[in-house]
Amino acid sequence: MPPDYVDPAPIALLEDARKHDQVWAEIAPRYGVTAADPPWKTSLSATCECLAAGGALASLDRRHAEDQLARSIYRDVSAPERQLLALAHTMLRRGLLGEDDLARRMQAVRTRLQAS
């Protein structure tokens, strides 16, 4: 199997996020935010760079996996969210992140948003 291959089978946690249309363009107005880019975009880019620099996920492999997932299960998702879902999907499939840990982190973000 090539190093840039990622199993495209849906992941329930990510499917739930995808199906609930949690896109920045729809969320931002609810919280009075007018920024064009989501606040997590910078962290996403930094995470990708750190994964590559640390040797955990080469940039080219990540991009190929992202392209593969964008053509399949995330084709109906807008660009910044698609990149985020593809990275999470790739990290989960490669064992770089656990699904329980990701679920806890997603809940923490959801709680902070709902408290504001």
Q: Which domain holds residue 104?
A: 12-115
Q: Which of 3-7, 34-38, 65-69 has the lowest mean pLDDT?
A: 3-7
Is residue 5 one of the residues assigned to a domain? no
Residue 92's H or E segment, with its range, is helix 79-93
Is residue 1 one of the residues assigned to a domain? no
Tens digits of per-residue pLDDT, 39-78? 889 999 999 999 999 999 999 999 999 999 999 999 999 8
Is residue 73 one of the residues assigned to a domain? yes
CA atoms lying within 13 Å on the CB side of residue 59: 8
Mean pLDDT over residues 104-109, rounded?
A: 91
Is residue 3 one of the residues assigned to a domain? no
For a pLDDT cut of 70, what percent of the chain falls above it?
Answer: 96
CB 65 within 8 A of CB 4: yes
Is residue 19 one of the residues assigned to a domain? yes
Is residue 6 one of the residues assigned to a domain? no
Token duo for residue 55 = 């040797």
Residues 6+ apart with CB under 8 A from 90: 6, 57, 62, 65, 66, 69, 96
Is residue 7 one of the residues assigned to a domain? no
Domain count, the chain: 1
Positive/negative CA dihedral, 21, 64, 71, 98: negative
Cα gap 111→6, rounded to integer Å: 31
pLDDT at 108: 92
Quickly count: other Cβ atoms within 10 Å of residue 11's Cβ.
19
